[in-house]
Amino acid sequence: MKAKLKYPIFWSSPNDNRIYVFWKEKGIHGFTGMIYYEQEYEDNPESFSLQQLQDRIAERYPKTRWFREEGWGSRDDFRRTVYACKTFEELAGLFRHPPETLRTRIIKWLHPTRKELKMRIGTLLFLILYLLVCYLIFEYNISN
């Protein structure tokens, strides 16, 4: 007999610090975006109190590489936000859309992804070359 599940469901692997939130029977909303695949749940899911789940999330998630990528400013900010949640749904909602504040946008800009960094370097090199060519053209025209 399968257990009757109440959503949202929080799932994590013992080998990994990521925490995933199941919002419906088929599909996972994870910290790195949305992942869809067929999922069969275990027959005996482990129950946690809200406090136990908050403790586990506050301890494990900041150790992942996605912690900063998702826009969380610091571990203390994250812990305060997690412990401020009064229901499982509110806690799960944190991981659907991480908060986007001015501070998180600045942090995100200061810590670009590899793709963003390559784009910034490419743009900077283009501007330097463009200015150098303009300087040489105008320098040449002025001296003639």
What distance, in Å, lies between the first and last C-alpha atoms of the chain? 91
Per-residue pLDDT reduced to its tens digit, 8-59: 777 776 677 777 777 775 554 444 333 333 345 555 666 778 898 899 888 8
Query: E-strand spans in the chain?
Result: 9-12, 19-22, 28-30, 33-35
User: pTM for the full model?
Assistant: 0.50
With cut-offs at 50, 70 and 90, classify the pLDDT of residue 102.
confident
Is 90's pLDDT higher than 70?
A: yes
Neighbour tally for 19: CB within 10 Å? 20
CB-based contact 101:137 (threshold 8 Å) = no
Separation of alpha carbons 56 and 19, rounded Å: 9
Burial of 55 (0-12, 13-18, 19+ CB in 10 A): middle
Per-residue pLDDT reduced to its tens digit, 56-85: 888 888 887 777 767 677 888 889 989 999
Mean pLDDT of 88-92: 86
Q: Cα dist. 35→20, 26, 27, 69 in Å?
A: 10, 10, 7, 17
Q: Residue 16 has what DSSP assignment?
A: -
CA angle 110–19–53, rounded 5-degree value: 115
